[in-house]
Homo-oligomer: A and B are copies of this chain.
Amino acid sequence: MTQLNSLDFDPNKLTLTWADGSSSQFHAVWLRDNVLEEDARHKNGQRLFDWSELPRDFSMKSAEVDGDTIKINFNAEDRQSSYPIEWLKTYAYDNQAPEKSYEIWGKDLDLSLIYHDYKEVKKGGQAMCDWLKSVRKYGFGIIQNVPQEEGTVLNILNSFGFVRETNYGKLFEVRTEENPNNLAFTPLGLNVHTDNPYRDPVPGLQALHCLESNNDGGESVFVDGYNVAELLRQEEPIYFDLLSSYHANFRFCDGKADLKNRATVIGVDNFGHFTHILYNNRSAAPLNLPANVMEDYYIALLAYSDMLHREEVEVLFKLKQGELVLFDNERVLHGRKGFAGGKRHLQGSYADKDSLNSWINIWEAKQ
């Protein structure tokens, strides 16, 4: 039970002081917008009124504690609204940035947090939740002992969400091809990158399932783009501002598809939390920026690029036969060392992050 020490009333805001001595402000307009009564909320939880229908005087006539709730009368309307104190505590916004869903990492990341077992995950219970949460928190999670059967990557994505079909199909094959339309399908090493920044929207999740790997080399390199963006913010705040303010161009054209997108390399919200990283030298199209910004922007981009290649930010591992990695494609950059000889065959597919988070939310609400 949330304990309330005191309620300080002002017609335009309440100040609630909690048992631990901290306090939260709730403005009258916020309270009116969030009334919980049946005339304002459909039983499915959706708000029934539009903001344009609200009165323009939100001031409160009175507010009083009544058991576990606070009851409020507004001046402009003949309505009394009741708010559970617990609910107010949950949604308190004063000085509270929302909790970050992610934790940044560098080369010292404990990989035991990342590995999960197929037999457990496929049961769809806590092990599934743990796998998905490692993707939400660290940006990636690996399942071991996955059957080496083609198409399994689709079944696994469909177990919590929906496959994003693209011009590459529902899944794409990563193996050496004779006439590749993409460098991924050559044996060349690949610098760390995020996939498909040229799409609108960019795929939020990518899964890669290793069906065969008996070559030398070809190790995976993973880098937390949020970690490196944080380094840039600390070391070069002006560069950080450039990469998070100006939109870069991305493009992929193979004659059958001509995909273009414009977006910032670093996405950040008003609390300074990261929302995306898009970095792909291969599909970067000519920049179109104000001429007086161009040189500084390049200095910033080169600085970020150099930081992405610092040894301290890289995690290296070999994706073995029967392993599947699911990762946040708008956060974690992936690359690979070059390889020669032997066979290497992965199947990949894209999906979106909302389903992943929804799965976790629904599972945790049931526990």
Which residue from chain B places its CB closest to the CB of A96 in the assembled complex? Answer: B288
- Tell me the residues in window 309-331 of chain A with beta carbons closer than 8 Å to chain B beta carbons: 309
CB within 8 A of A254: which of B44, B166, B246?
B44
Binds B, one of A62-70, A109-117, A347-355: A347-355
* Complex: A34 Cα to B281 Cα, angstroms: 11
- A294 close to B200 (CB less than 8 A): no
- B288 close to A49 (CB less than 8 A): no
Q: From residue A99, how far is it (CB to closest CB) to chain B in Å?
A: 10
Whether A21 is near chain B, meaning CB under 8 Å from some CB there, is no
Whether A127 is near chain B, meaning CB under 8 Å from some CB there, is no
The contact string, 1 if C-beta is below 8 Å from chain B, for chain A 42-55, is: 10111111111110
Residues of chain B within 8 A (CB-CB) of A42 are: 183, 282
Given A93-B289, A247-B270, are A358 and B258 neighbors across the interface (CB < 8 Å)? yes
Whether A7 is near chain B, meaning CB under 8 Å from some CB there, is no
CB within 8 A of A200: which of B95, B204, B365?
B204
Residues of chain B within 8 A (CB-CB) of A288 are: 91, 93, 96-98
Whether A125 is near chain B, meaning CB under 8 Å from some CB there, is no
- A29 close to B361 (CB less than 8 A): no
The contact string, 1 if C-beta is below 8 Å from chain B, for chain A 18-47, is: 000000010101100110000000101111
Whether A191 is near chain B, meaning CB under 8 Å from some CB there, is yes
Binds B, one of A72-80, A142-150, A214-222, A259-267: A259-267
- A361 close to B260 (CB less than 8 A): yes
CB within 8 A of A258: which of B258, B275, B362?
B362
Whether A341 is near chain B, meaning CB under 8 Å from some CB there, is no
Copy tally for this chain in the complex stands at: 2
- A51 close to B96 (CB less than 8 A): no
Q: From residue A366, how far is it (CB to closest CB) to chain B in Å?
A: 10
Whether A123 is near chain B, meaning CB under 8 Å from some CB there, is no
The contact string, 1 if C-beta is below 8 Å from chain B, for chain A 245-259, is: 111000011111111
Residues of chain B within 8 A (CB-CB) of A52 are: 191, 302, 305-306, 308-309
* Complex: A54 Cα to B309 Cα, angstroms: 13
- B283 close to A46 (CB less than 8 A): yes
Residues of chain B within 8 A (CB-CB) of A200 are: 204, 352-354, 357
- A29 close to B298 (CB less than 8 A): yes
Whether A108 is near chain B, meaning CB under 8 Å from some CB there, is no
Can you list 16 pairs linking A and B with CB atoms under 8 Å apart?
Answer: A25-B291, A27-B291, A27-B295, A44-B254, A46-B182, A47-B281, A47-B283, A50-B309, A52-B191, A91-B286, A200-B352, A255-B362, A260-B357, A262-B269, A262-B275, A270-B289
**18 further A-B pairs in the complex, CB-CB below 8 A; given A93-B290, A258-B358:** A27-B294, A30-B286, A33-B298, A47-B282, A47-B283, A47-B284, A50-B281, A50-B309, A91-B286, A93-B286, A96-B288, A162-B165, A162-B166, A167-B355, A201-B354, A260-B361, A262-B269, A262-B275
